[in-house]
């Protein structure tokens, strides 16, 4: 069976490391790019090289940007006093897609994990405490994933910020819009019952 040339095989291997792409999907993507070198591959390579040089973490919140501060941190209209704490940039982007939150964010860069030796200093928790003290934050919204590590991190942050007097809230958990009870797991149904509100 014929093998792809070494550099193309290396590209396939690198593509296969991306989330959602296995070896077969990566091979199909590379073959498509090779067919459309001028329209797809060359522009993609150019933009990837530019992003590799220009992308950096926002000095204030940890979002990805190409300047000192991201667009959200530079927008004075977002200085509402509300600070939404998320695990990573993907979570920030997901919340922004919804368009419901008009405050600012703080990206931790992960969650606390004793097994992986990730403590508060490896995350942006000390910077969060500093921001709460310096920026007139009135509410910290803990928008962390409903995993053991996510909830452990949320409890740790709540303990650290208790003395600051800031209001601490978390996202509601329960039945998604359009969800059917029969398809939900027991934990989600339990969380929905505990978070019930007056109709």
The verdict on domain 7-54 having CATH code 1.10.10 is: no
Residue 4: the pLDDT is 66
Q: At what angle do helices 148-161 and 125-134 cross, to 10 degrees?
A: 40
pLDDT tens digits, the chain, 199 residues: what are they?
A: 456 678 999 999 999 999 999 999 999 999 999 999 999 999 999 999 999 999 999 999 999 999 999 999 999 999 999 999 999 999 999 999 989 999 999 999 999 998 889 999 999 999 999 999 999 999 999 999 988 999 999 999 999 999 899 999 998 888 777 888 788 788 888 887 888 777 7
Residue 2: the pLDDT is 53
Structural domain boundaries in the chain:
7-54, 75-170
Residue 3: the pLDDT is 64
Query: Residue 88 in contact with residue 109, Cβ under 8 Å?
Result: yes
Kindly give the pairing relationship between strand 82-86 and strand 139-142.
parallel
**Class of the CATH domain delimited by 75-170:** alpha beta
Query: Residue 128 in contact with residue 85, Cβ under 8 Å?
Result: yes
Sequence-distant contacts of 99-107: CB under 8 A, at least 24 apart: 101/141, 102/77, 102/78, 103/78, 103/141, 104/61, 104/72, 104/73, 104/78, 104/79, 104/80, 105/61, 105/62, 105/63, 105/72, 106/61, 106/62, 106/131, 107/57, 107/61, 107/62, 107/63
């Amino acid at each position: 069976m014929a093998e792809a040339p070494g550099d193309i095989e290396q590209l396939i291997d690198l593509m296969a490391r991306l989330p959602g792409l296995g070896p077969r999907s990566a091979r199909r993507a590379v073959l498509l790019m090779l067919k459309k070198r001028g329209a797809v591959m060359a522009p993609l390579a150019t933009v990837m090289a530019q992003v590799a040089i220009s992308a950096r973490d926002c000095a204030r919140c940890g979002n990805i940007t190409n300047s000192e501060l991201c667009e959200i941190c530079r927008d004075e209209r977002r200085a509402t006093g509300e600070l939404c704490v998320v695990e990573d940039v993907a979570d920030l982007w997901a919340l922004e897609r919804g368009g419901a939150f008009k405050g600012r964010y703080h990206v931790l860069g992960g969650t606390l994990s004793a097994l992986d030796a990730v403590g508060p200093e490896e995350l942006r928790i000390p910077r969060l405490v500093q921001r709460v003290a310096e920026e007139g934050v009135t509410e910290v919204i803990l928008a962390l994933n409903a995993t053991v590590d996510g909830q452990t991190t949320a409890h740790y942050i709540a303990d650290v910020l208790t003395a600051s007097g800031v209001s601490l809230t978390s996202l509601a958990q329960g039945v998604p819009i359009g969800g059917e009870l029969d398809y939900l797991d027991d934990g989600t149904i339990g969380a929905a019952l505990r978070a019930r509100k007056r109709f």
